[in-house]
Structure formats: structure tokens, C-alpha cells
Amino acid sequence: MSDNQKNINPDTLSYVNGSFDILESELKTNFPDLLESSATETIQNATEFLGELAKEMKDTIESLDKFLCDVGDTFRNADESMANSISQTMYTKAPATVSERHYRKKMAEIHNSQFNDFPK
């Protein structure tokens, strides 16, 4: 894959989003019981910050997922529209105008007259 191409795996996106969801939940419910010392308040503040960060990351991933789905839908709709447009007009020939018919008839007469000198 070149540097300008991106590969986004929706399963990985869901997995990471779920991980942030679990992290946020675990920090809120289980951390206060793990440690009791003079650093508990500082660590508690850090875990609250990590919880907020995890929630923001979760929201960002959900937003990115929605955006990518919308982009995919837009491309799919454009592709279907182009395919329908091509299939409807691919074998359609515009009707010739009077001058075009006259020009074609004259060109055919000129072409045929070139061979009138040949024996039959």
C-alpha cells in the first residue's frame, strides 16, 4: 500500500471503541478500591482525566465511523447513478438531422461512384 492510501478496518474501529468504553467504565468503578495512600488523590485525578479522555476518544471514533459510513454511502449512490446513466444512454443514438442524413447520403454516393468504372 502506498503512502497516500489508507486502509480502515471497521472491526478494529469497533474493537478500539469498545476498549475505550471498558476503560472508562473500569476507571470509574474499580480504581478507588485498588490503592489507598498519600498519592491516592493525585492518582484519582489522573484516572478521572483518563476516563474523560477515553470518553472523548470513544465519541471521536463513533463520529469517524459515522462519517466513513456516510462517505461510503455517497460513493455507492454516485456509482449507482453513473451506472444507471451509462446503461440508459450507452446504446442510444441521437436521431440524425436533415443535413446529417444528406451528408451521409452524399458520402455514400461518392464512395460508390469510385467503383462504377470497374467491370461487373
Q: pLDDT tens-digit profile of 18-47?
A: 777 777 677 666 665 666 677 777 777 777
φ, ψ dihedrals at 37, nearest 5°: -160, -170
**Within-domain flag for 2:** no
* Residue 25 and residue 56 in contact, taking contact as beta carbons nearer than 8 Å: no
**Within-domain flag for 5:** no
**Within-domain flag for 1:** no
The whole-angstrom separation of Cα 82 and Cα 67 is 23
The whole-angstrom separation of Cα 94 and Cα 24 is 65
pTM summary value: 0.48
Higher pLDDT, 88 or 52: 52
Cell of 63: 463520529
**Within-domain flag for 45:** yes
The whole-angstrom separation of Cα 114 and Cα 120 is 13
**Within-domain flag for 3:** no
